[in-house]
Amino acid sequence: MNYSLIAQAAKSASKASVVPPPLTLPTGAQISSFFYTFGASIVVFFIIYILVFYLLRSFLRRTEKDTALFILGILQIPAIAIFILASLKLSLTQLGSGRIISWIDRGITAFLIAAFTYGITLLFTEAAVHYLKNYARKTEAVWDDVLIPLLQNFIPVITYVIGISLFFSTLGVDLTGIGLAIGSITVVLGLAVKDILSDFFSGLVLLVDTPFRFGDVISMPDGSIAIIKHIGIRVTKLYLINEHCEVYIPNRTLGGQNIVNLSRPTTHYAYTIQVSVRVDADAVVATNILQQILVGHPDTLGDLNEKLQHLDSFAALREAEGDKLSKKEAGRLRLLVEKDVNSQLQKVEQAFEDFVREIKKLEKGGLNSEELRILQKNYLEIMNLVGLLVITERQGKRLRSWLEEQEQTDKPTLISLIRKWYQTWLKDPDLVLEDQRLLPDEWEQKIELMKIKLNKLFQKVSNPGVDETRLDDYCLKFVEWLHESFKESNTAWKEPQVQLTDIQGSAMQFSVRFYVDNIQLEHWRRGNRIQNEVRREMVRRLRQAYIYTLG
């Protein structure tokens, strides 16, 4: 009997233990303490907010770098939300530890996580991507141009997934079952949408190991010319020039095609025209006429002196309209400045070759301090030709030196001539509105990249260390980049070519080949326009010589 009474008592005690404690309301003192703490926290956070977002911003406006200022601007709204929520969470400790207080605390923590997630996403998509894009403009690598859009698309998704998971976990939601369900659904969907997944992974391959970059002109297998507009995760968007429309191709299909990139290694592109001449004509005379036509067009590559000589005889060019120059006048001005650019480029290349010979002479047995001073002096003389001068600044006990662009001087430099050249080029009446941005962007990016390379080389010359026997290799590597990736001072191998290819019946068949200076201009139609003008001029000149035939 006693045992049964004890068992019943224990059973009653166990039932009583699972009964939730009664709800308790905060006392008046706790509520007063809550509002006092909340008010004090708001005041403290308000002072911090003023110091960071107003006083610090005023200081940063005086600096040349605007990165920190930009970050402050985009984080202002998330910071306000975080300050308020943090004040509430801190003040909530004054209300005790009841069940309602615990749920409110969890809710505030969850919304704090949401605010942090939003701030981090903004920081990456706005500030980090903006910085990375500016950095990519200063490099020649292709991977960073395509990796940045990839990060821009994926990082926010990953951040939000993690943030949402933490948000619900903080609220006490068990995500284990949801995760298992999602995993099962993913397997089923993976089998159903394998083609979409194939496009997805093909898109990743195209983005990471890309054979082209955005804006490149490519030739499709069917012969159509297209522009790479956007490489997406599943499809790539192309702009077809001739059809003036956009087409979307699955990445799996695009990755399996043989594509010719017309923009690599340069934007110069060769065109070929077949023309017929009477069989009784003098082949030498016909060749000279065709050569003069090709050289005389201002937008083809060739010897600049010959181009200036034959420019006036080219009739099929645009005349002056309104306040625009005629094509001949604009072309003449551009070619004259380009002559100066090429001349200055040749001086820089020759100066570097002399500099390399000096290095090879002095580096035998190692470079002493006096020999280093001689090399630094010679290097700075080359920099005067480029348009850079050395700036020295004391930082503590050390002196720091670097190269900066010279201000406007009467003496022509490579950088000033390049700018004068592309600004003269912008007067071309055939250019379209977007070319007014494309040309400056292209050449300013090249100038900036050249300055970075020359600064690195300057640091090597100033303090070669273990690289003192490799200074000549570094200089030759820069000259090679200058010639191949910056601007060719001599394009003899790209000059127009005229060949007699065949004789059929009453006609001689000539094949003429010429390079167009930049096929990206005029909304990628520059090459077609030039080809048409050259063909019209051929008909006109050959008819004047009474040797043209339809073949």
What's the Cα-to-Cα distance from 226 to each of 243, 249, 353, 544, rounded to whole Å?
A: 10, 12, 41, 38
Q: Which of 51-60, 308-317, 332-341 has the lowest mean pLDDT?
A: 51-60
The confidence score (pLDDT) of residue 191 equals 53
Contact 235, 250 (CB under 8 A): yes
Mean pLDDT, residues 194-206: 58
- Let me know: does 439 contact 521? Beta carbons within 8 Å: yes
Say which residues have a Cβ less than 8 Å from residue 463's Cβ, sequence separation at least 6.
none
Question: Does the fold of domain 269-302+492-544 match that of domain 200-261?
Answer: no
The pair of three-digit structure tokens given for residue 3, joined into one six-digit string: 């045992």
| Contact of 170 with 113, CB cutoff 8 Å | yes
Supply the CATH classification number for the domain 269-302+492-544. Answer: 3.30.70.100
Q: Is the dihedral of CA 223, 227, 230, 231 positive or negative?
A: positive
Angle at 130 between CA 127 and CA 132, to 5 degrees: 110
Res 152 pLDDT > 70 = no
Give the pLDDT confidence score for residue 60 in this predicted structure. 66
Average pLDDT over residues 344-373: 89
Residue 322, sorted as left (phi over 0), alpha (psi -120 to 50) or beta, turns out to be: left
Alpha-helix runs per DSSP H in 220-365: 251-255, 283-296, 304-310, 327-362
Phi and psi at residue 346, to the nearest 5°: -65, -35
Least Cα distance to 316 among 540, 548, 533 occurs for: 533
Q: What average pLDDT does the segment 330-339 reach? A: 96
Q: Whole-angstrom Cα distance, residue 468 to residue 363? A: 7
Strand partners, 310: none
pLDDT tens-place string over residues 448-471: 999 999 999 999 998 887 778 888
Question: Domain coordinates of the chain in residue numbers?
Answer: 28-173, 200-261, 269-302+492-544, 327-486
Cα–Cα dist 2/444, whole Å: 98
Q: How many degrees, rounded to 5, is the angle at CA 260 between CA 210 and CA 484?
A: 75
269-278 and 507-516 strand pairing: antiparallel
Give pLDDT, residue 295: 95
For a pLDDT cut of 70, what percent of the chain falls above it? Answer: 78
Is residue 211 exposed (0-12), middle (13-18) or buried (19+ Cβ within 10 Å)? middle
> What is the Cα Rg of the chain in Å?
35
* Residue where the block lists tokens 């990839």: 150
Alpha helix ranges (H) inside 51-96: 56-60, 67-74, 76-92
Report DSSP state, residue 54: I
List the single range of 165-179, 216-230, 343-357, 497-511 with lowest mean pLDDT. 165-179
Arithmetic mean of pLDDT, 6-19: 48
Q: What would the DSSP string read from start to end of 112-150?
A: HHHHHHHHHHHIIIIIIHHHHHHHHHT---SHHHHHHHH
Share of the chain above pLDDT 90, in %: 37
Contacts of residues 47-50 at CB distance under 8 Å and 24 or more positions apart, as own/partner, are: 48/83, 49/79, 49/80, 49/83
CA-based angle 371:377:380, to the nearest 5? Answer: 140
pLDDT in tens, 230-255: 776 667 888 887 777 888 887 777 76
pLDDT tens-place string over residues 416-445: 999 999 999 999 999 999 999 999 999 998
CB 276 within 8 A of CB 549: yes
| Residue position matching structure tokens 């990445």 | 251
Examine the pLDDT at 208 and tell me if it is beyond 70. Answer: no
Helix (H, G, I), strand (E, B) or coil at 282: coil
Structure tokens at 304: 């600049």
Mean pLDDT, range 492-510, rounded to an integer: 91
Q: How confident is residue 375, by pLDDT bands cut at 50, 70 and 90?
A: very high
Distance CA 132, CA 137 (A): 9
Q: What is the mean pLDDT of residues 98-106?
A: 77
Kindly tell me if the per-residue pLDDT of 39 is higher than 90: no
Spatial neighbors of 192 by CB under 8 A, at least 6 apart, are none
The two three-digit tokens of residue 149, written as one number: 């859009």
SS3 (DSSP) at 425: helix
- 261-280 in b/e burial notation, b at 16+ Cβ within 10 A? ebbeeebbbebebebbbbee
* DSSP per-residue string spanning 447-484: HHHHHHHHHHHHHHHH--GGGTTSHHHHHHHHHHHIII
Cα(322)–Cα(338) distance, rounded to whole angstroms? 26
Cα–Cα distance, 326 to 322 (Å, whole number) = 10
Cα–Cα distances (Å) from 324 to 327, 364, 414, 466, 523, in that order, read: 9, 59, 28, 57, 19
Residue 145: CB partners within 8 Å, gap ≥ 6? 136, 213, 214
d(CA 182, CA 428): 59
**Three-class secondary structure of residue 513 per DSSP:** strand
Evaluate if residue 105 carries a pLDDT over 90: no
**pLDDT of amino acid 343:** 95
**The pLDDT of residue 99 is above 80:** no
At the top level of CATH, the class of 200-261 is mainly beta
Q: Is the pLDDT confidence value at 498 over 80?
A: yes
Q: How far is 76 from 45, CA to CA, in rounded Å?
A: 13
- Average pLDDT score over residue span 309-323: 91
Q: Is the preceding omega at residue 211 within 30 degrees of 0, hence cis?
A: no
Q: Which 3 state secondary structure label does DSSP give 376?
A: helix
pLDDT band (50, 70, 90) for residue 14: very low
Residue 151: which pLDDT band, with cuts at 50, 70 and 90?
low
What does the pLDDT average to over 252-279? 82
Cβ–Cβ under 8 Å, residues 330 and 338: no
